[in-house]
Amino acid sequence: MFERNLFQEDHEMFRDSVRKFIDKEIAPYHAQWEEDGIVPRELWLKAGAAGLLCCTIPEEYGGLGLDYLFDVVVFEEMARSGFTGPGFLIHCDLVSTYVKSFGTEEQKKHWLPKMVDGTAIGSLGMTEPHAGSDLRNIRTRAVRDGDDYVISGQKVFISNGQLCDVLVLATKTDSVTGGKGITLFLVDTSTPGFKRGKNLAKLGLKAQDTSELFFDNMRVPANCMLGKEGEGFQLMMTKLAQERLAQAIRSATVSEHLVDLTVEYTGNRKAFGRTIGEFQNTQFKLAELATEAVIGRVFTDHCIKKFMEGKLDEVDAAMAKMWLSNLHCKVTDECLQLFGGWGYMWEYPIARAFADARIVKIAGGSIEIMKHIIGRSLFRDVNSRNKTESLVVAKLPEGKLQVNS
């Protein structure tokens, strides 16, 4: 129904290789990984050898130097497969880009080749028990001590937490200046004082390891800092649009796939002497969902183009994340209903998709935060104009206030 024009022939050839990799290296084992609560490190090495990791990293740092669409292909095919265990998106779209964008030459040469080949797995350490979306109020402290910083605190809900070798860690180096007191460090998780907590039991994403992390007087050299002291919040803000776009890409792809899956199921499943797909209710419901999936895809592709041009702002990214997250959850719920009782069985992909979907309204900034960003932007001009008018009135001599009709 909708022909995409983002991708060239080389992207589609790469897509075919990604699908083959998923069929061979992930599909036969993912059910066991859900039982284990984690994927094996060997998968990362295989993904690295197949060129699936950090596609945009320049050749000088061990990468292929490809455009962002190659990463998009990996994100889409992983989402389409329904195999949510491998945390490739966090590793590629966030951690490696933090290192590439803000790292020193020494940091890039040390970590990026390892992230490309899968020998070093990346994770993002920001969320805390008392600071989810409110990153300004993190409590993990980093105190300068000579040429080192001593870090103490904890993180929670950290994807790839059990496996990670390198962590982009958000800390407070100044507890009284809010966001201006946040500093990022690139932490080697073999550093003494770093400790992994338990692998958290979740509603969905059961094969993806998600952890608590603890830092007990962990001493890191000052040259492990990303950017400068106090720049952390500013650096994080520059990557939020990219993170939210990646989540929109995932949700757009899952929504499309589940509609297709449900059409296939209802077109073959019979009730009352005919297929479920022949009932008007089924056709009307899927017609609505298919149309919304196309709308979501068009907007997501528009945002991908804007991102590649360096023009994706926080408002468009928030709109994409909010709308596609809501659609993702709506599609999984209404498609599961059309599967009837079988939709509630874990062996059916729709059941796993339903459990996996709920996090998208929370992760990467909650729906409420997205609404706040969008709503604030709507009134920015009005508030600015009102502020200007108030200043003008305040400067008028007493008794000289005039109202022009």
Angle between helices 367-378 and 380-395 (to 10 degrees): 50
Cα separation of 302 and 313, whole Å?
A: 12
Catalytic residue among 128, 243, 256, 292: 243
Per-residue pLDDT at 187: 98
**Mean of pLDDT values over 372-395:** 74
Strands 122-125 and 166-172: parallel
Helix (H) or strand (E) holding 270: strand 270-271
Residue 219's H or E segment, with its range, is strand 210-221
User: Residue 119: which of 54, 204, 216 has the closest Cα?
Assistant: 54
Place of tokens 């990468």: 63
Whether the per-residue pLDDT at 398 is higher than 70: the answer is no
| Dihedral sign (CA 333, 339, 341, 347) | negative
Mean pLDDT for the stretch of residues 24-39 = 98
pLDDT in the model for residue 135: 82
Which segment of 65-79, 153-167, 336-350, 377-391 scores lowest on mean pLDDT?
377-391
DSSP 343: G
243 is catalytic: yes
Q: Report the greatest alpha carbon distance in the chain.
A: 85
**How many other β-carbons are positioned within 10 Å of the β-carbon of residue 70?**
22
More confident residue, 389 or 289: 289
Residues near 207 by Cβ (< 8 Å), separated by ≥ 6?
30, 33, 34, 36, 37, 38, 39, 83, 84, 85, 86
Residue 131 carries which DSSP code? B
Residue with tokens 């009134």: 379
Residue at token pair 């468009």: 316
3-state SS class at 171: strand
Token representation of residue 288:
């609505």
Residue 82 has pLDDT above 50, yes or no: yes
Instruction: Say if residue 401's pLDDT is above 70.
Output: no
- The number of beta carbons lying within 10 Å of the beta carbon of residue 304 is 22
- Residue pair 77/25 in contact (Cβ under 8 Å)? The answer is no
Q: Given the structure tokens 């061979």, which residue do they identify?
A: 24
What are the DSSP E strand ranges found in 277-379? none
pLDDT score of 169 more than 80: yes
The CA R_g of the chain, rounded to the nearest whole Å, is 24
Residue 135: closest CA among 181, 83, 101: 181
pLDDT at 133: 74
89 closest CA partner among 63, 68, 64, 114: 68
Give the pLDDT score at 3: 85
Q: Could you read off the pLDDT of 127-158 as tens digits, one per residue?
A: 999 877 778 889 999 999 999 999 999 999 99
- Strands (E) in 291-393, as ranges, are none
Nearest in space to 63 (alpha carbons), one of 26, 106, 96: 96
Band (pLDDT 50/70/90 cuts) for residue 364 is: confident
| DSSP one-letter code for 341 | G
Could you give the CA distance from residue 331 to residue 354 in angstroms, rounded to a whole number? 9
pLDDT in tens, 292-332: 999 999 999 999 999 999 999 999 999 999 999 999 999 99
The answer, yes or no, to whether residue 212 has pLDDT greater than 90, is: yes
pLDDT above 90 as % of the chain: 89
